[in-house]
Amino acid sequence: MTAPDLSVKIGDLTLKNPVMTASGTFGWGVEYAMLADVSALGALVVKATTLRPRDGNKPPRVVETPAGMLNAIGLQNPGVEEVIKQKLPHLDKFNIPVIVNIAGDSVDDYVAVARRLSETGLVQALEINASCPNCEEGGMLFGLDPASLGGLVSAVRAATALPLITKLSPNVTDIVPLARAAVEAGSDALSLINTLVGIAIDVEKRRPKLGNTTGGLSGPAIRPVAVRMVWQVAAADLGVPLIGMGGIMNATDAMEFILAGANAVAIGTANFVTPDTINKVVTGLGDYCRRHKVCRLQDLVGAARP
C-alpha cells in the first residue's frame, strides 16, 4: 500500500498532515528543536501575540491536577513588533507553515496585530484567540457571546488575507452559535477547544494554588469534553475544517477527534509530558490508515458519526 495521504486544507493552505501544536504549549518551536522533529508537523502554531508586550500573570502559573493541569500564563509575550523582529525570522528553518495565535483587549488590538503579522510574509495563517480564560478583560468575553465574536472575526477578516482560524472557548452553554458566528464572519477554520476554567486550592495554605486564582484546565482530563464539542460543531455542518484539541496524548486520542469530525488536531499539554508526541502522532495516524486500509485520512473525518 502506498503511503496514506494525511494532507488537509485550512483555507487556501495545504498542510502535509493534520498535526499542529496547540498555541502556548510549544513556545516558538525552537525550544523543542532538540527533542522533537519540528519540521514533521503539519503546521507550527505559536504562542499568543498581542499588540504591546505583556508581563503575564503572577506565579505560580501552573499546577498539576488529576490527568491534567491548570495554567494561568496570562498571555506573556514580547508584543507583535518584537515577535516579528526576534521570533518569526527563526522559524523558516522548520520549513512548515507558521500560524500565529493573536490576542488582545479590544477589536482594534486584534486588527492591528493581524495587519502587522500579515505584512511580514513570515506567517501562513492566523488563529484568533477569542477564548483566553486568563486575562481580565477582552479575550474571554469575545469568546462567550456570538455577536461580539462575529464582530471581532469580521474586523480581523477585513485586515488580513491570510487563512483565518477562530479558536473557541469551551466555557459556554452551547458552542454551536459561537462556531456559526465565527464562520459567518469569515473564519476559514475553527480550533476547539481552549481550556476549561478551573481552580485548585492549597488546603494547607488555604489559598488558591495559582497566583491568578483561576486557570485553564488542559490535558487528558478534558478530552471527553473536547471530543463532545467537536462532535457538536461537526453536526452543525458549517462547511469549514475543524481543528480538534484537548488532551491528545497519542495517535489514538487524535483519532477520537478525527472520527468525531475534526479535520486536523493540535497537541498541547502532551508536549510537556512526551516532547516528541507530535512525531508519534503523525506516525501513528499513518499507521492507523494503513491498518484500516484507508488511503486518505480525510475520508475518516466524522466516521464515528451515525
Partner 1 sequence: MQNIQAEIIRNDPELDDYSVLELHAPHVAENARPGQFVHIRLNRLQDPLLRRPISIMLAEPHSGTIRLLIKKVGRGTELLCAALEGGTIDLLGPLGNSFPLPPEGKDVLLVGGGVGVAPLIFFADVLQKTPGLRSARGLYGGANENQLAVWTELAGRCEEFYVATEDGSAGEQGLVTDLLAEQLQRGDAQAVYTCGPRPMMAKVAAMCAEASMPCYASLEQWMGCGVGACLGCVVPGTEEAYLRVCRDGPVFPAEKLDWDNVI
Ligand X SMILES: Cc1cc2nc3c(=O)[nH]c(=O)nc-3n(C[C@H](O)[C@H](O)[C@H](O)COP(=O)(O)O)c2cc1C
Provide the annotated active-site residues.
Answer: 132
**Choice between 159 and 168, CB closer to a copy of itself:** 168
Q: Which is nearer to ligand X, 4 or 133 (CB)?
A: 133
- Residue 252: strand, helix, or coil: helix
From the centroid of its chain, how far is CA 93?
A: 22
Strands of the chain, DSSP E = 8-10, 13-15, 19-21, 44-49, 62-65, 68-71, 98-102, 125-129, 164-167, 189-192, 196-199, 201-202, 207-208, 214-218, 242-244, 264-267
Handedness of CA 217, 191, 97, 276 (dihedral sign): positive
How many CB atoms sit inside 10 A of residue 89's CB?
A: 11
Q: Indicate whether 211 belongs to the interface with ligand FAD (CB under 6 A).
A: no
Q: Which does 56 bind (CB under 5 to 8 A by kind): partner 1, a copy of itself, ligand X, none?
A: partner 1
Using CB under 8 A, which of 201, 273, 295, 303 touches partner 1? Answer: 273
Binding of partner 1 at residue 246 (CB under 8 A)? no
> Which of 87, 209, 223, 280 is the binder for ligand FAD (CB under 6 A)?
209
| Torsion 270-274-278-280 (CA) sign | negative
Residue 70 interacts with which of a copy of itself, ligand X, ligand FAD, none, CB < 5 to 8 Å by class: a copy of itself
Q: Applying CB under 6 A, does 29 fall inside the site for ligand X?
A: no
Residue nearer to ligand FAD on the CB measure, 138 or 216 = 216
Print the binding letters for residues 30-69 with ligand FAD: x by CB under 6 A, - otherwise. Answer: ------------------------------x--xx-----
| DSSP-assigned letter for residue 186 | T
Contact criterion met (CB below 8 Å) for 225 and 69 = no
Count other C-beta atoms under 10 Å from residue 65's C-beta. 16
Q: Quick one: what does residue 208 bind among a copy of itself, ligand X, partner 1, none, with the CB cut-off 5 to 8 Å set by partner type?
A: a copy of itself
Q: Is 292 in the site for ligand FAD (CB under 6 A)?
A: no
Using CA atoms, how far residue 145 sits from 52, 102, 173, 191, 209, in Å, is 25, 18, 10, 16, 29
Q: Which is nearer to ligand X, 99 or 289 (CB)?
A: 99
Task: By CB under 8 A, name the one of 44, 63, 132, 175 that touches partner 1.
Answer: 63
Q: Does 101 participate in binding ligand X (rule CB under 6 A)?
A: yes
Residue among 219, 162, 191, 171 nearest 20 (CA)? 191
Q: Which residue is nearest to ligand X (CB)?
A: 24
Cβ 220 to a copy of itself shortest distance, Å: 3
Contacting residues toward ligand X, per CB under 6 A: 22-25, 47-48, 71, 73, 101, 129, 167, 194-195, 218-219, 222, 245-248, 267-270
